[in-house]
Amino acid sequence: MTARPIAVVGASAAGLAAAEALRRGGWRGPLTLIGDEPHLPYDRPPLSKQLLHGAWEPDRLLLRTAEQLAPLDLDLRLGTRATGLDVATRTLSLEAGERLACAGVIIATGVAARTLPGADRIAGVHTLRTLDEALALRGELAHGGTPGSGGAAAGEGEGGRRLVIVGNGVLGCEAAAVARELGHDVTLVGIEATPMAAAVGTEIGALLAEEHRARGVRLRTGAVDGFETAPADPAGTGDPQVTAVRLAKGGAGGGGVTRLPADLVLLAIGSRPAVEWLADSALDTIDGLRCDAYCAAAPGIYAAGDVARWDHPVHGRPLRFEHRMNATEQGMAAARNLLAELATTDPAATGAGDGASAQERRPFAPVPYFWSDQYGIKLQAYGLTAGADRVETTVLDRAERRALALYGRDGRAVGVLAAGIPPRQLRALRAVVATPLPWEEARERIGAATAAG
């Protein structure tokens, strides 16, 4: 009898890591990798940086070429969407009505960009989550701009396009930096006054705000009330073209509605876990796919990457990370634990090799890491920076935007972030938050490291 496949849903960094780990772990049976995009697995962080800038072309984002994937002997289903999962039988439903009974399933569908009502019917309004979306925005930015003019004040006769970015989180700030470097007129709008405050705190966010202003980015605070448009052509065919973004009362400038002229708009207002296709009541899909400490959502069903919300054994609560490093690490952990489960429950029927049967399931307990590049500033962080109840920031050089921040929760240090500090120096601070230390002890260690340069 032919063994049932293991299916990995999501041809992402997490999905690819899981597929490779399954083969390394001894899985000799059929292995199906399903992705709703037509592209081979690619890296997403460069979309808002090197690719949008034009420094990289799409082939440089590929995580593996077709030749490199060949030894995995994958049943590769690109451009195919999963539409349902029967948890009890581990049967996937795919578009066009196909059903795939599986030995195990790893869900790595990531997240999708949030948008605003009606935005998909307005030309010039973009989101930036996929390769195709990034290329579309890059193409429009290429129609105007003066590369290298990022130090000038916006709007001073540069010939660039007027770009309004809605959302001043990580993605919005990175895109704003790239657009200014390309010579465009950029306005960055956020609900919160300080860019990236939710992710890094107000003091680090204020440093970033200073840099964006110095580079010519206009910062505005407010909620979007709607868009103004003009006909795409005299005949009125096609989608109308955006001409302005309206901010509701209470936005920049006080009462009434503030109008921000725009040739292009980027909606960078966050993301939502791609779980809408998981309707089985056995699964908890509130803020991602809920998993235990082993990344298991149900027997034989695991999750990895941005979509997974799992019990972090160190922090003692469910967490979900939209970080690139976590995607790869969790993909490998989910694969390893799935193989260990299958080898225990029914090794003869699964096609698992001897390597798989020798494993034991292990809790997934990473030290989160993320980074962001904006202009010449590199932000790097270990641990948890969002949701802290205590933040202490040391500004080492304001002009150079060099700073170090410590983040605490419930009396313990849980995160550390550095701006403009060499990676080697920051890595030395990882131990402070790997197993969260008491706040005062962590402060002393951070202080000693800072004093040592």
Same domain, 138 and 261: yes
Give me the half-sphere count of Cα atoms (radius 13 Å) on the Cβ side of residue 185.
Answer: 15
CA-closest candidate to residue 212, choices 155, 167, 164, 154: 154
Between the alpha carbon of residue 17 and those of residues 26, 27, 151, 301, 324, the distances in Å are: 14, 14, 40, 16, 12
Amino acid found at 303: A
Burial letters 394-411, b for 16+ CB under 10 A, else e = ebeeeeebbbbbbbbbee
Contacts of 39 (CB under 8 A, 6+ apart): 11, 58, 78, 131
Residue 365 included in any domain:
no
Between the alpha carbon of residue 365 and those of residues 37, 332, 401, the distances in Å are: 30, 12, 32
Same domain, 202 and 284: no
Same domain, 263 and 278: no
pLDDT of residue 156: 42
Last residue of a domain, one of 311, 327, 357: 357
Same domain, 61 and 17: yes
Contacts of 382 (CB under 8 A, 6+ apart): 367, 368, 369, 415, 416, 417, 426, 429, 430, 433, 434
- Specify whether the CB–CB gap between 413 and 439 falls below 8 A: yes
Contacts of 182 (CB under 8 A, 6+ apart): 53, 54, 141, 145, 146, 147, 150, 160
pLDDT of residue 36: 97
- Which DSSP symbol is given to 369? E
Q: Using DSSP bridges, classify how beta strands 6-9 and 104-107 pair: parallel, antiparallel or unpaired.
A: parallel
Same domain, 244 and 311: no
CA distance 402 to 424: 15
Q: In which band, very low, low, confident or very high, does the pLDDT at 285 lie, cut at 50, 70 and 90?
A: very high
Between the alpha carbon of residue 28 and those of residues 106, 116, 221, 304, the distances in Å are: 16, 45, 55, 21
Residue 362 included in any domain:
no
- The CATH number for 433's domain is 3.30.390.30
Number of domains in the chain: 3
Reported as a single tens digit per residue, the pLDDT across 93-148 is 999 899 999 999 999 999 999 999 999 999 999 999 999 999 999 999 997 655 54
Report how far Cα 181 is from the mean position of its chain's Cα atoms.
23
Last residue of a domain, one of 295, 323, 357: 357
pLDDT (mean) for 306-325? 95
pLDDT of residue 426: 77
Q: In which band, very low, low, confident or very high, does the pLDDT at 235 lie, cut at 50, 70 and 90?
A: low
Same domain, 104 and 144: no
Domain span including residue 413: 376-451
Average pLDDT of the chain is 91
CA-closest candidate to residue 222, choices 183, 249, 255, 259: 249
User: Kindly report the CA angle at 333 between 303 and 273, in degrees rounded to 5?
Assistant: 25
Same domain, 103 and 223: no
Same domain, 82 and 140: no
Last residue of a domain, one of 302, 324, 357: 357
CA distance 435 to 418: 19
pLDDT of residue 3: 84
- Specify whether the CB–CB gap between 369 and 381 falls below 8 A: yes
Same domain, 106 and 126: no
CA distance 98 to 448: 60
Q: Using DSSP bridges, classify how beta strands 218-221 and 185-190 pair: parallel, antiparallel or unpaired.
A: parallel
Of residues 172 and 425, the one with the higher pLDDT is: 172
Residue 25 included in any domain:
yes
Reported as a single tens digit per residue, the pLDDT across 11-70 is 999 999 999 999 999 999 999 999 999 999 999 999 999 999 999 999 999 999 999 999
Residue 371 included in any domain:
no
Residue 259 included in any domain:
yes
User: 249 pLDDT exceeds 80?
Assistant: no
Same domain, 11 and 75: yes
Same domain, 235 and 279: no
Residue 368 included in any domain:
no
Cα dihedral 305, 30, 37, 83 sign: negative
Contacts of 172 (CB under 8 A, 6+ apart): 165, 166, 188, 190, 195, 266, 268
Residue 46 included in any domain:
yes
- Specify whether the CB–CB gap between 157 and 183 falls below 8 A: no
Between the alpha carbon of residue 22 and those of residues 7, 17, 33, 216, 341, the distances in Å are: 11, 9, 12, 49, 13
- The CATH number for 27's domain is 3.50.50.60
Same domain, 146 and 234: yes
CA distance 6 to 280: 19
Residue 170 included in any domain:
yes
